[in-house]
Amino acid sequence: MRSPQRSRLAGLPARVQIYEVGARDGLQNESEVLSAAVKVDFIRQLVAAGLTAVELTSFVSPKWVPQLADAEEVMGALGPLRGRHPVLVPNERGLERALACGATEIAVFASATESFAERNLNSTIADSLATFAAVVARAEGNGIPARGYVSMCFGDPWEGDVDAEQAAAVAAALVDMGCSEVSLGDTIGVATPGQVVDLLAALDTRGVGPDQLAVHFHDTYGQALANTLVALQHGVTTVDSSAGGLGGCPFAGSATGNLATEDLVWQLHGLGIDTGVDLESLCRTSIWLASLLGRPSPSRTVQAIGPTLA
């Protein structure tokens, strides 16, 4: 199997943590509902490929995300895993379910825009942040760290462009309530590198540095890798991605798949950045999962490497 030729660029980190979202953010947007056994196998394969941060599932109401209605079953079957393994919780009821399953880290999901907060959370931004503050405080009381997501950081299908200060205010609020890491989401994939720099600068003025941040890019306009690179050049070292490019957002019709983990690994390894990920193993996993979903993987790297793995 071909590997990228390594050539470092100045100013980049020596290591990047890839935060894998395929089992949650990826599968929640697939029309094919996979069994709990397949999900457990998928997660175990991701960990075996060297991914040390894998988001497992969501404790959102099955009414809203039926693809992940088996969260308890998946958690019960997984057993101990190496690394970080957050679960998404929407409120205190979701937290109770997660705690009962032995969750070791949670994530909460905020919006930078009122329109998406209303559609995705059935709430205002302010009310949703108040809900999350209670969830994060209770999680901390149980010794469980919390991650925060901010969706629609760069553009919204109902409101259009999103000002960097608007997104920064929500991200800073998540940090202030105790989130140990905040992921900046380009939910509909419209960002370009200058916008990424603007948002990081706006957060810096609020005292939120790149060591507290992750980036989460969708590839609707083919900009995810470019946006990732500029984030790394400005100090970010955690990048969200999805094996095989799975996912989108079921509440934002224009959102296409996440940045494919394989494409991210190819770029990072070519830059001489350590990820700990075995690219061949990961590609085999994504090819296997795509076969179960009945469609080819959209990852360019999987498409290029796949024929050599037969």
Contact between 167 and 112 (Cβ < 8 Å) = yes
Residue 249 falls in the annotated catalytic set: yes
Cα 35 → chain centroid: 22
Marked catalytic residue, from 101, 153, 179, 249 = 249
Contact between 202 and 234 (Cβ < 8 Å) = no
Other C-beta atoms closer than 10 Å to the C-beta of 308 total 10
DSSP 258: B
**How many Cα atoms sit within 13 Å of 8 on the Cβ side?**
9
Which residues sit opposite 119 in a β-bridge?
none
Alpha helices in the chain (DSSP H): 36-48, 71-78, 92-100, 114-116, 125-141, 164-176, 193-205, 224-233, 261-270, 279-293, 300-305
Residues designated as active site? 249
